[in-house]
Chain A
Amino acid sequence: DAGVIQSPRHEVTEMGQEVTLRCKPISGHNSLFWYRQTMMRGLELLIYFNNNVPIDDSGMPEDRFSAKMPNASFSTLKIQPSEPRDSAVYFCASSLHGYTFGSGTRLTVV
């Protein structure tokens, strides 16, 4: 099993640009989560999907953030337009018993 696969591993973009982060969960896991990690705020839940349906998006910072899960094997987190304060490591996790995290995407917005 390849685990949860995230891409890209690193992303550097200019303020105002659109950023799309991608995640492939573990096959058979019906829950998918997007987290953001910063030194100041720790690990924050952004959105939770169950069976491809968004269940809890209360952690999505603002309208600039959107997430989709068109099928059981793929999810995206989009930021448009990006801002420097969005710089963080973004993790995707899928769950059966306990979360399995992907390696994360380190986003830097300059």
Chain B
Amino acid sequence: GQQVMQIPQYQHVQEGEDFTTYCNSSTTLSNIQWYKQRPGGHPVFLIQLVKSGEVKKQKRLTFQFGEAKKNSSLHITATQTTDVGTYFCAPGAGSYQLTFGKGTKLSVIP
């Protein structure tokens, strides 16, 4: 299945600072999905990117799919304590997402 590398594994930021997590694949992806998992919770679907170079925004979150469809990023502007959690990317290879990245665990210091 599709394997992706997510970096960084952990990120500690001061509240108000920006945060970015990256998802890199050695192969071209058909699509990529992003999920957020709060501590003790379950993954929650955030967004799906399909097109090369696609950029989508959800309030303070900006998602980007690379031109070659081999990498993706999630950027959070001015983090808040409610952003705490682990962010996962999940590459698609056809009709379903085979694997999830290991995730980036975000801590926000108030």
Please list the residues of chain A having a beta carbon within 8 angstroms of any beta carbon in chain B. Answer: 31, 33, 35, 42-45, 48, 50, 56, 91, 93, 95, 97-104
Contacts and interface: CB of A to CB of B under 8 A. Distances in A.
Contact of A103 (B1, B42, B98): B42
Contacts of B33: 98-99
Interface of B: 1, 33, 35, 41-45, 47-48, 88, 90, 95-103
B43 A45 contact: no
Contacts of A103: 41-42
18 contacts: A31-B95, A31-B96, A35-B100, A42-B101, A43-B88, A43-B103, A44-B99, A45-B1, A98-B33, A98-B45, A98-B47, A99-B35, A99-B43, A99-B97, A100-B45, A101-B42, A103-B42, A104-B42
Given A101-B43, A103-B42, A42 B96 contact: no
